[in-house]
Structure 1
Amino acid sequence: MTWTPITIEEIFEKIHSAENELRGDLLNFWDLIKIDPEKWVEEEYGKEGGGFWVVGLIGRRVIYYNDIEEGFNISDYTTYGIIDDYVCNQDDLYFTILNMFSLITFGGRITGQAGPPINL
Protein backbone atom coordinates (compact mmCIF):
# COMPACT_ATOMS: atom_id res chain seq x y z
CA MET A 1 0.00 0.00 0.00
CA THR A 2 1.30 3.45 -0.91
CA TRP A 3 1.54 6.23 1.67
CA THR A 4 -0.59 9.30 1.02
CA PRO A 5 -0.38 12.60 2.92
CA ILE A 6 -3.11 13.47 5.39
CA THR A 7 -5.80 15.83 4.11
CA ILE A 8 -6.79 19.17 5.59
CA GLU A 9 -10.18 17.66 6.50
CA GLU A 10 -8.46 14.90 8.50
CA ILE A 11 -6.28 17.47 10.27
CA PHE A 12 -9.39 19.44 11.28
CA GLU A 13 -10.96 16.22 12.62
CA LYS A 14 -7.90 15.65 14.83
CA ILE A 15 -7.97 19.27 16.02
CA HIS A 16 -11.68 19.16 16.89
CA SER A 17 -11.24 15.84 18.70
CA ALA A 18 -8.48 17.32 20.88
CA GLU A 19 -10.42 20.54 21.50
CA ASN A 20 -13.33 18.48 22.85
CA GLU A 21 -10.97 17.13 25.56
CA LEU A 22 -9.34 20.44 26.54
CA ARG A 23 -10.53 22.32 29.63
CA GLY A 24 -9.58 25.40 31.66
CA ASP A 25 -6.04 26.76 31.36
CA LEU A 26 -5.10 24.18 28.74
CA LEU A 27 -8.00 25.22 26.49
CA ASN A 28 -7.16 28.91 26.99
CA PHE A 29 -3.53 28.18 26.13
CA TRP A 30 -4.52 26.29 22.97
CA ASP A 31 -6.80 29.15 21.91
CA LEU A 32 -3.77 31.48 22.11
CA ILE A 33 -1.30 29.32 20.15
CA LYS A 34 -3.44 27.57 17.55
CA ILE A 35 -3.30 28.68 13.94
CA ASP A 36 -5.22 27.68 10.85
CA PRO A 37 -3.36 24.61 9.57
CA GLU A 38 -0.54 25.50 7.16
CA LYS A 39 1.82 23.21 5.27
CA TRP A 40 5.40 23.94 6.32
CA VAL A 41 8.59 22.63 4.74
CA GLU A 42 10.73 20.05 6.51
CA GLU A 43 13.89 19.29 4.53
CA GLU A 44 14.71 15.76 5.71
CA TYR A 45 11.46 13.81 5.26
CA GLY A 46 8.72 16.33 4.54
CA LYS A 47 9.24 16.80 0.82
CA GLU A 48 7.26 13.79 -0.39
CA GLY A 49 3.99 14.98 1.15
CA GLY A 50 4.55 18.66 0.39
CA GLY A 51 5.50 19.39 4.00
CA PHE A 52 3.77 18.87 7.32
CA TRP A 53 0.66 20.57 8.72
CA VAL A 54 1.54 23.10 11.43
CA VAL A 55 -1.41 23.71 13.76
CA GLY A 56 0.12 25.69 16.65
CA LEU A 57 2.85 28.25 17.09
CA ILE A 58 4.46 30.05 20.03
CA GLY A 59 7.78 31.83 20.09
CA ARG A 60 10.18 29.77 17.98
CA ARG A 61 8.31 26.49 18.41
CA VAL A 62 5.61 24.85 16.31
CA ILE A 63 3.18 22.01 16.83
CA TYR A 64 2.85 19.99 13.66
CA TYR A 65 1.41 16.71 12.47
CA ASN A 66 3.92 14.20 11.10
CA ASP A 67 1.69 12.13 8.84
CA ILE A 68 4.51 9.68 8.07
CA GLU A 69 4.62 8.63 11.74
CA GLU A 70 0.98 9.60 12.40
CA GLY A 71 1.51 11.86 15.39
CA PHE A 72 1.87 15.43 16.57
CA ASN A 73 5.25 16.90 17.46
CA ILE A 74 6.95 20.02 18.81
CA SER A 75 9.88 21.42 16.84
CA ASP A 76 11.87 24.60 16.63
CA TYR A 77 11.81 26.90 13.64
CA THR A 78 14.15 29.69 12.61
CA THR A 79 12.38 30.84 9.46
CA TYR A 80 8.59 31.05 9.31
CA GLY A 81 7.33 28.21 7.12
CA ILE A 82 10.29 25.88 7.69
CA ILE A 83 10.39 23.23 10.43
CA ASP A 84 13.98 22.96 11.71
CA ASP A 85 13.91 19.48 13.26
CA TYR A 86 12.25 16.25 12.19
CA VAL A 87 10.52 14.61 15.16
CA CYS A 88 8.70 11.30 14.94
CA ASN A 89 6.55 11.08 18.07
CA GLN A 90 3.20 9.42 17.65
CA ASP A 91 1.38 11.63 20.14
CA ASP A 92 -2.18 12.83 19.89
CA LEU A 93 -2.74 16.57 19.81
CA TYR A 94 -4.02 16.76 23.40
CA PHE A 95 -0.74 15.34 24.75
CA THR A 96 1.34 17.60 22.48
CA ILE A 97 -0.54 20.71 23.68
CA LEU A 98 0.05 19.53 27.27
CA ASN A 99 3.77 19.17 26.51
CA MET A 100 3.96 22.68 25.03
CA PHE A 101 2.09 24.06 28.04
CA SER A 102 4.56 22.24 30.33
CA LEU A 103 7.51 23.80 28.51
CA ILE A 104 6.22 27.19 29.58
CA THR A 105 4.70 26.36 32.96
CA PHE A 106 7.33 24.01 34.39
CA GLY A 107 10.60 25.65 33.39
CA GLY A 108 11.18 24.25 29.94
CA ARG A 109 10.94 20.51 30.47
CA ILE A 110 8.72 18.38 28.27
CA THR A 111 6.51 16.00 30.27
CA GLY A 112 8.39 12.76 30.90
CA GLN A 113 11.71 14.17 29.64
CA ALA A 114 14.84 13.39 31.61
CA GLY A 115 17.78 15.74 31.99
CA PRO A 116 18.17 19.46 32.44
CA PRO A 117 15.47 21.93 31.39
CA ILE A 118 15.44 23.06 27.78
CA ASN A 119 16.38 26.70 27.33
CA LEU A 120 13.56 28.58 25.62
Structure 2
Amino acid sequence: MPWSPITYLNLQNEIREAEKELSSNLSTFWNFIRIEPEKWNEEGYGEEGNGFWVVAIMGKQVIWYNDIEDGFNVSLYFKYGVIEEYACNQLPLNIVLLQLWNRGSNTIFGFQPGTPTSLK
Protein backbone atom coordinates (compact mmCIF):
# COMPACT_ATOMS: atom_id res chain seq x y z
CA MET A 1 0.00 0.00 0.00
CA PRO A 2 1.54 3.35 -1.03
CA TRP A 3 2.17 6.02 1.60
CA SER A 4 -0.09 9.06 1.78
CA PRO A 5 0.11 12.01 4.19
CA ILE A 6 -2.23 12.17 7.17
CA THR A 7 -5.36 14.22 6.62
CA TYR A 8 -6.30 17.17 8.80
CA LEU A 9 -9.30 15.21 10.12
CA ASN A 10 -7.17 12.18 11.09
CA LEU A 11 -4.63 14.46 12.75
CA GLN A 12 -7.40 16.09 14.77
CA ASN A 13 -8.50 12.60 15.87
CA GLU A 14 -4.93 11.81 17.00
CA ILE A 15 -4.86 15.03 19.01
CA ARG A 16 -8.27 14.41 20.62
CA GLU A 17 -7.20 10.90 21.69
CA ALA A 18 -4.02 12.29 23.26
CA GLU A 19 -5.94 15.02 25.07
CA LYS A 20 -7.95 12.35 26.90
CA GLU A 21 -4.70 11.16 28.53
CA LEU A 22 -3.50 14.55 29.78
CA SER A 23 -3.37 15.48 33.45
CA SER A 24 -4.72 18.86 34.50
CA ASN A 25 -1.23 20.43 34.43
CA LEU A 26 -0.40 18.93 31.03
CA SER A 27 -3.75 20.04 29.64
CA THR A 28 -3.08 23.61 30.76
CA PHE A 29 0.43 23.43 29.26
CA TRP A 30 -0.97 22.03 26.00
CA ASN A 31 -3.61 24.75 25.75
CA PHE A 32 -0.89 27.38 26.23
CA ILE A 33 1.41 26.15 23.41
CA ARG A 34 -1.00 24.60 20.91
CA ILE A 35 -1.87 26.17 17.57
CA GLU A 36 -4.37 25.31 14.90
CA PRO A 37 -2.46 22.63 12.94
CA GLU A 38 -0.70 24.01 9.90
CA LYS A 39 1.66 22.53 7.33
CA TRP A 40 5.30 23.56 7.65
CA ASN A 41 8.15 22.81 5.27
CA GLU A 42 10.99 20.43 6.05
CA GLU A 43 13.60 20.10 3.31
CA GLY A 44 14.81 16.55 3.91
CA TYR A 45 11.63 14.46 3.96
CA GLY A 46 8.70 16.87 3.97
CA GLU A 47 8.43 17.63 0.27
CA GLU A 48 6.48 14.54 -0.76
CA GLY A 49 3.60 15.26 1.62
CA ASN A 50 3.73 19.07 1.20
CA GLY A 51 5.32 19.43 4.63
CA PHE A 52 4.42 18.23 8.11
CA TRP A 53 1.65 19.32 10.46
CA VAL A 54 2.90 21.58 13.27
CA VAL A 55 0.55 21.48 16.27
CA ALA A 56 2.34 23.59 18.92
CA ILE A 57 5.01 26.29 19.26
CA MET A 58 7.21 26.86 22.31
CA GLY A 59 9.81 29.55 21.86
CA LYS A 60 11.98 28.30 19.01
CA GLN A 61 10.68 24.73 19.16
CA VAL A 62 7.72 23.15 17.42
CA ILE A 63 5.79 19.97 18.07
CA TRP A 64 4.92 18.37 14.77
CA TYR A 65 3.43 15.15 13.45
CA ASN A 66 5.66 12.94 11.30
CA ASP A 67 3.17 11.07 9.15
CA ILE A 68 5.94 9.06 7.50
CA GLU A 69 6.85 7.52 10.88
CA ASP A 70 3.44 8.00 12.58
CA GLY A 71 4.51 9.96 15.65
CA PHE A 72 5.00 13.39 17.18
CA ASN A 73 8.37 15.10 17.40
CA VAL A 74 10.01 18.25 18.73
CA SER A 75 12.33 20.25 16.49
CA LEU A 76 13.87 23.68 16.36
CA TYR A 77 12.80 26.33 13.91
CA PHE A 78 14.48 29.60 13.01
CA LYS A 79 12.08 30.81 10.31
CA TYR A 80 8.34 30.57 10.87
CA GLY A 81 6.95 27.84 8.62
CA VAL A 82 10.18 25.84 8.31
CA ILE A 83 11.12 22.86 10.51
CA GLU A 84 14.90 22.89 10.91
CA GLU A 85 15.58 19.27 11.76
CA TYR A 86 13.90 16.02 10.84
CA ALA A 87 13.06 13.61 13.65
CA CYS A 88 11.38 10.22 13.74
CA ASN A 89 10.60 9.48 17.37
CA GLN A 90 7.18 7.87 16.73
CA LEU A 91 5.82 9.15 20.06
CA PRO A 92 2.23 9.86 21.01
CA LEU A 93 1.47 13.51 21.66
CA ASN A 94 0.78 13.01 25.36
CA ILE A 95 4.26 11.48 25.84
CA VAL A 96 5.95 14.35 23.98
CA LEU A 97 4.10 16.84 26.18
CA LEU A 98 5.04 14.93 29.33
CA GLN A 99 8.72 14.91 28.32
CA LEU A 100 8.67 18.65 27.64
CA TRP A 101 6.83 19.31 30.90
CA ASN A 102 9.37 17.27 32.88
CA ARG A 103 12.30 19.01 31.18
CA GLY A 104 10.69 22.40 31.73
CA SER A 105 10.23 21.85 35.45
CA ASN A 106 13.96 22.56 36.01
CA THR A 107 14.74 24.55 32.89
CA ILE A 108 13.22 27.04 30.53
CA PHE A 109 11.37 24.98 27.88
CA GLY A 110 13.92 22.21 27.96
CA PHE A 111 17.07 24.32 27.84
CA GLN A 112 19.37 24.33 30.85
CA PRO A 113 20.88 27.78 31.33
CA GLY A 114 24.62 27.87 30.71
CA THR A 115 27.35 29.05 33.06
CA PRO A 116 28.02 32.79 32.78
CA THR A 117 31.26 33.84 31.14
CA SER A 118 33.53 36.11 33.16
CA LEU A 119 33.96 39.59 31.69
CA LYS A 120 37.42 39.95 33.27
Q: TM-score range by the shorter chain?
A: 0.7 to 0.9
Q: Which amino acid aligns with 1:44?
A: G
Counterpart check, 1:97 vs 2:107? no
CA–CA separation in structure 1 for the residues paired with 2:32 and 2:108: 18
Q: Deviations over 1:28-83 (max 9, x none)?
A: 00010010000000000000000000001110000000000110000000000000
Is the 1:57–1:63 contact (alpha carbons within 8 Å) kept by the matching residues of 2? yes
CA–CA separation in structure 2 for the residues paired with 1:108 and 1:75: 16
What SS does the aligned partner of 2:19 have? helix
| Aligned residue-pair number | 114
**If the length of structure 1 is used for normalisation, what is the TM-score?**
0.88
CA–CA separation in structure 2 for the residues paired with 1:118 and 1:88: 24
Runs of at least 4 residues off by over 6 Å: none
Is the 1:76–1:85 contact (alpha carbons within 8 Å) kept by the matching residues of 2? yes
Across the aligned residues of Structure 1 and Structure 2, the Cα RMSD in angstroms comes to 1.9
Task: Please list every run of 5 or more consecutive structure 2 residues that lacks an aligned counterpart in the other structure.
Answer: 115-120
Counterpart check, 1:82 vs 2:82? yes
How far did 1:106 drift? 3.0
Is the 1:102–1:108 contact (alpha carbons within 8 Å) kept by the matching residues of 2? no
Corresponding residue for residue 21 of structure 1: 21
What SS does the aligned partner of 2:74 have? strand
What SS does the aligned partner of 1:75 have? strand
Corresponding residue for residue 47 of structure 1: 47
Instruction: Compare CA radii of gyration and give the structure with the larger one.
Output: 2
Shift of the 63–16 alpha-carbon distance from structure 1 to 2, 3 Å rule, reads same
